[in-house]
Amino acid sequence: MKVHFIAIDPSLICTGIYVYAPSMSLEYTEAIRRNKYHKDRYSVLAELHGRLDAVLATKDIRLAVVEKYAFAARGNSMTKLAEVGGVVYMTLSEHKIAVYEIASQTWKLLALGNAHVKKEDVRPLAWDLYKIAPQTQDELDAWLIGKAVKLALSPYTEFKGSASKSLDKLREGLKEALGEKVG
């Protein structure tokens, strides 16, 4: 199934996005993060909204797959993470985009072969498997979420054991989000 989708790894420091629009021969990653031109965190949130809005308005995106919060953040960090999530979900809602939340263990299992890969091991493993090295960890995570989604959307993808169960669950979730048959 050739579904245009966006994968999003929201975080406090940098939000990674991966855009897949096969009918436009388009596939890329992007990072939205604070830099010297942002006067405060709210200007970063405004840029995040603007970038997502532009992508969703022009790429015929039908599905967003967003990494679930890990909830390791505490205090003010949790508030900031909730602000990022609020902007992401608000923008998706404005465009009436179907949303599926994915756990990091699911995309790691499907895209990397191990649900418990440590953060510091993701980049070298992704390089070994796919020869991909986006600028930021968040872009890489978004790309890997996208890889897991593409595997789930393909009727030819098969796994064994727990990966098979995760793949089936992801396919069902995407099917429900899209309101149609997947795979």
Q: Can you give the residue ranges of every domain in the chain?
A: 5-178
pLDDT digits (tens, 9 = 90+) for 108-127: 999 999 999 999 999 999 99
Sign of CA dihedral 174, 176, 180, 183: positive
The pLDDT confidence band at residue 34, using thresholds 50, 70 and 90, is: confident
Q: Which pTM value belongs to this model?
A: 0.90
Average pLDDT, the chain: 89
Q: What is the per-residue pLDDT for 181?
A: 52
Residue type, 83: E
Q: What is the per-residue pLDDT for 104?
A: 94
Measure CA of the first residue to CA of the last residue in the chain; give whole Å: 7
Fold of 5-178: Nucleotidyltransferase; domain 5 (3.30.420)
| Lowest-pLDDT choice from 83-87, 169-173, 178-182 | 178-182
Are 175 and 182 contacting, i.e. CB atoms less than 8 angstroms apart?
A: yes
In the predicted structure, residue 63 carries a pLDDT above the cut 60: yes
Among candidate residues 18, 66, 56, 58, the one with its CA nearest the CA of residue 177: 66
In the predicted structure, residue 12 carries a pLDDT above the cut 70: yes
To the nearest 10°, report the CA torsion of 51, 4, 59, 86: -30
